Structure 1
Amino acid sequence: MARSVADAAAILTIISGRDPLDNFTFAQPPVVPDFSKALKPNGLKGVRLGVPRLFQGSDKNIIAAFNASIEIIRGLGATVVDPAEFPDAEEILASNNETIVLDTDFKVDVKNYISGLLKVPTGVTDLADLIAFNIAHADEELIPPFYTDQSEFIESENTTVDAAYFAALAADKDLGQTRGIDGTLKKFNLDAILLPSDGFTTGPAAIAGYPIVTVPLGFQPDNVTATAANPVIENAPGLPFGLAFMGTAFSEFDLITYAFAYEQATHTRLKRLAFPAAIPKTQLQDVIGK
């Protein structure tokens, strides 16, 4: 989303706020803070963080880097409770509620999105139309090896907003919020939760609808064998992975503080630079002027 925590804080300050087109935003505090004021280099001093090991995954390279980051964070003045397992961790890992909610929401939201467009040259109006359009224009839309499979679209199209959907929403709230993040923060007297992120992690923050910020933690070594695209390449030499700070509702300001302190102490992003051809030569001022 952004190159640095400072950039992310600037963007979040602008895009936050209540949106009449999104009723969920009306739950947030009426005043949006200036998140740039959260950028404190000593922001981890005196903070209590918990490590839910059941969510760390099984990648040895990521776990090794994660363990090293814990020592860095302790050196920056934080207390790290390790482990600090979620009371309902096993239930979260086994739950299929997130898939039910995602599939149903996607179908509804695609239709809402298209209906709000001023012009739709393709003539599609909903997800069913989109699936049919892709099949009719497979040479342009279903490009191997990445986008030949529409199974997720089809699975979403087969859903309805029914009792099972609302039950899944309620279960996610209980698993992610009440007995998940909030329960863990309270049980271990924590300010936030610390865990590695391989770039494909959803986990408790996703089902709870709670904030999470991720900063660079490391890169896969050059001797890692690249996986096949299915549809994306999930592991490869140099693939970046992150360190995530996760908290309760509307704790973004504090999470930015913790992430910024770690980022400034490590500058991991600069330890592996892009290929020369991938480094932008044009800056914003070149486009809009000084």
Structure 2
Amino acid sequence: MDSMLLLFVTATSLWASVVAGGPPRGWRFPDLIDATISDIQWGLEKGCFNSTDLVKAYFARIFEVNRRLRAVTEDNPDALSIAASLDKERLTKGPRGPLHGVPILLKNNIATKDKMNNTAGSYALLGATVPRDSTIARKLRDAGAIILGKSNMSQWSNWRSRNFSNGWSSHGGQTLGAYYQNQDPEGSSSGSAVAVSVGLAAAAIGTETLGSVLAPANRNGIVGIKTTLGLTSRDLIIPISEHMDTVGPMARTVEDVAQVLQAIVGEDPHDRFTSTTMPTIPKYTDACRLRNLADMRIGIPWDLIKGLEEDFVSSELQAFFKMLAILEEAGAQIVDTTIPKATEIMQAQILVPFADFPANLASYLSQLTTNPNNITTLPQLREWTHSQPLEEYPGRDIYYWDAALQLHADKCGSNTHCYASNKARYGHLVVVGGHFAPLEADKLTALALPTSIAPFWTGVTGAASITLPMGYYPEDAPVQLSRRGDLVNTAPGIPMGISFLGRKWSEYELIELAYNLEARSRVRQRRKPKIVPSTELNLPRACRAR
């Protein structure tokens, strides 16, 4: 990072004085760990600061804590010049929309055609280049967002090792959560979640195949949405499975998630799954209104929760019960229900990504315009990883790659009769026995689950889900380590979340439900992370008024 970016932000670059009258009486711009996108837009519009100031502040905050948290892999060296251009545009033409001049981080598997890398956390792709921005990056730029940098991630989206550490990558190091020493950040959008939780950006973009947005949002006290398959393009995103991969925003509030989601949805000729079957896209921020929930029926699959009860400390269930009580007080109907074929689905769901990965990875690699290590296939990546000490093989194995290659050797990879037959059988199982079954049978708006066990169901169905904070582990909670034993998975003060699982294209209803629960519970405001940057914007007095 340029040394100038390490300086604490000053007020010398303020581009306009505060408008007559200033902010509303009693209003003050919040600390950046709490600032929403609406707060940022208000401050920009009133001349409290400009986007250049904002980028400098976020860069300084990253510099303060990144050696400990490893949330950000690299800063965008063009971010300041982009901010200056957007500041000028705001003055001459006005803002493009709610994301104009707002800094956002991208997970390090979402390609940008600029000076930043896109590596999925591996040195194998360091220095590789792409022919254009990914569609997600282009849409964000078109909306006026500033791509601040790339966030660290679990290497290859946790699709390499059985003995992995969430948030570890050779390129980015070990991401840690900020609520407890050596906290497991969950994965694979680990850096995106941690960065948002401590205010290193206004929001971030993650990707999910089986829990990679929901799980890290859960453990870092933020909101994340797993989108319907086909709502957001996966163009030039390093893949696992074209039948399961999705892109979703991560932010500190439901409304912020809705604003970012609005900018990235829509059809894309580069992704055949974003087809004309997509319904009319609503204005998601319209769902962010407080109202009575009497028309909403929320299903609770108690058989699933009871079957996994021993995996929870009692405090997680207690927090879940409190959220259900709040929903009932808001008028929602709580309905007992079941997921009929839960065990079979859990056992079968892994087939699709194993079958898809070799071909989908090769498709991405074939589009690179620069490929320094000349890796074009999964077998070549496997051999390269064997030979590179920085990739920590065999201490971190390549089980998932070997299993995927074995599946293809057994002639059950993608584009085979075996695969098509199994996928059809599994698709039927999901419809009759997955989370769709109770939604239809009981006429439900959504299912609710502790986020710890929520991600498995919508990943395989291609449906939408959302998580938001529901509490924190209490001071007497037991400390539990991750499977590798090097990270703390649960401990006092670590956040926990609740998820709502819906139908395909149900993002609007899920946002509406989550917004109303968030507004009534205000969980995030109860506790701050243990590691928080101190850099803040240097604001004029009128913007600091109480």
Fold match by TM threshold 0.5: yes
**Residues 180-214 of structure 1, C-alpha deviations (whole Å, 9 max, x = no match):** 2332122112111111112x643221111110011
The alpha carbon displacement at 1:11 in A equals 1.6
- In structure 1, the residue matched to 2:326 is 72
For 1:209 and 1:280, the matched residues in 2 are separated by 40
For 1:230 and 1:248, the matched residues in 2 are separated by 35
- In structure 2, the residue matched to 1:32 is 281
User: Alignment partner of 1:281: what SS?
Assistant: coil
- In structure 1, the residue matched to 2:522 is 267
User: Alignment partner of 1:235: what SS?
Assistant: strand
For 1:3 and 1:91, the matched residues in 2 are separated by 35
For 2:431 and 2:533, the matched residues in 1 are separated by 41
Which structure has the highest helix share of the two?
1
- In structure 2, the residue matched to 1:153 is 401
Point out the more displaced range, 154-163 or 107-116. Answer: 154-163
Pair 1:228–1:38, CA change in 2 (3 A) = closer
Q: Which amino acid aligns with 2:384?
A: F
- In structure 2, the residue matched to 1:132 is 383
For 1:201 and 1:126, the matched residues in 2 are separated by 33
- In structure 2, the residue matched to 1:287 is none
For 2:304 and 2:467, the matched residues in 1 are separated by 15
The alpha carbon displacement at 1:29 in A equals 2.3
Point out the more displaced range, 248-257 or 180-189. Answer: 180-189
For 2:320 and 2:484, the matched residues in 1 are separated by 26
- In structure 1, the residue matched to 2:438 is 184
Contact 1:43/1:258 (CA < 8 Å) preserved in 2?
no
- In structure 1, the residue matched to 2:122 is none
For 1:282 and 1:231, the matched residues in 2 are separated by 36
TM (norm. structure 1) is 0.85
**Residues 265-290 of structure 1, C-alpha deviations (whole Å, 9 max, x = no match):** 112122221224x447367xxxxxxx
Percent identical among aligned pairs is 26
- In structure 1, the residue matched to 2:463 is 210
For 2:303 and 2:270, the matched residues in 1 are separated by 37
- In structure 2, the residue matched to 1:288 is none
For 1:26 and 1:4, the matched residues in 2 are separated by 29
User: Alignment partner of 2:497: what SS?
Assistant: strand
For 1:231 and 1:154, the matched residues in 2 are separated by 24
- In structure 1, the residue matched to 2:303 is 54
Pair 1:46–1:169, CA change in 2 (3 A) = same
The alpha carbon displacement at 1:31 in A equals 3.3
Higher Cα radius of gyration: 2
- In structure 1, the residue matched to 2:338 is 85
Q: Which amino acid aligns with 2:280?
A: V
Does 1:12 find its partner at 2:261?
A: yes
Stretches of structure 2 lacking an aligned partner (at least 5 in a row): 1-249, 408-412, 538-546
Contact 1:44/1:257 (CA < 8 Å) preserved in 2?
no
Which structure has more relative contact order (CA 8 Å, sep 6+)? It is 1
Pair 1:27–1:155, CA change in 2 (3 A) = farther
User: Alignment partner of 1:26: what SS?
Assistant: coil
Which residues of 2 match residues 116-131 of structure 1 at below 5 A?
A: 116-131=367-382
Residue of 141, 147, 152 corresponding to 2:391: 141
Pair 1:40–1:232, CA change in 2 (3 A) = farther
For 2:484 and 2:418, the matched residues in 1 are separated by 29
- In structure 1, the residue matched to 2:473 is 220
Which residues of 2 match residues 224-239 of structure 1 at below 5 A?
A: 224-230=478-484, 233=487, 235-237=489-491, 238-239=493-494
Stretches of structure 1 lacking an aligned partner (at least 5 in a row): 284-290
Supply the RMSD in Å over aligned alpha carbons.
2.5
For 1:280 and 1:142, the matched residues in 2 are separated by 34
For 1:269 and 1:143, the matched residues in 2 are separated by 39
Pair 1:157–1:90, CA change in 2 (3 A) = closer
Residue of 154, 172, 176 corresponding to 2:426: 172
Q: Which amino acid aligns with 2:462?
A: G
Contact 1:17/1:25 (CA < 8 Å) preserved in 2?
yes
The alpha carbon displacement at 1:229 in A equals 4.9
TM (norm. structure 2) is 0.47
For 1:168 and 1:218, the matched residues in 2 are separated by 40
Point out the more displaced range, 265-274 or 222-231. Answer: 222-231
The alpha carbon displacement at 1:137 in A equals 0.8
Residue of 358, 379, 387 corresponding to 1:107: 358
Runs of 4+ in 1 over 3 A off after TM superposition: 231-234, 278-283
Contact 1:55/1:195 (CA < 8 Å) preserved in 2?
no
**Residues 135-180 of structure 1, C-alpha deviations (whole Å, 9 max, x = no match):** 1112x11279xx7121122212323223332233223322333442
- In structure 2, the residue matched to 1:246 is 501
- In structure 2, the residue matched to 1:286 is none
For 1:274 and 1:118, the matched residues in 2 are separated by 41
The alpha carbon displacement at 1:233 in A equals 3.9
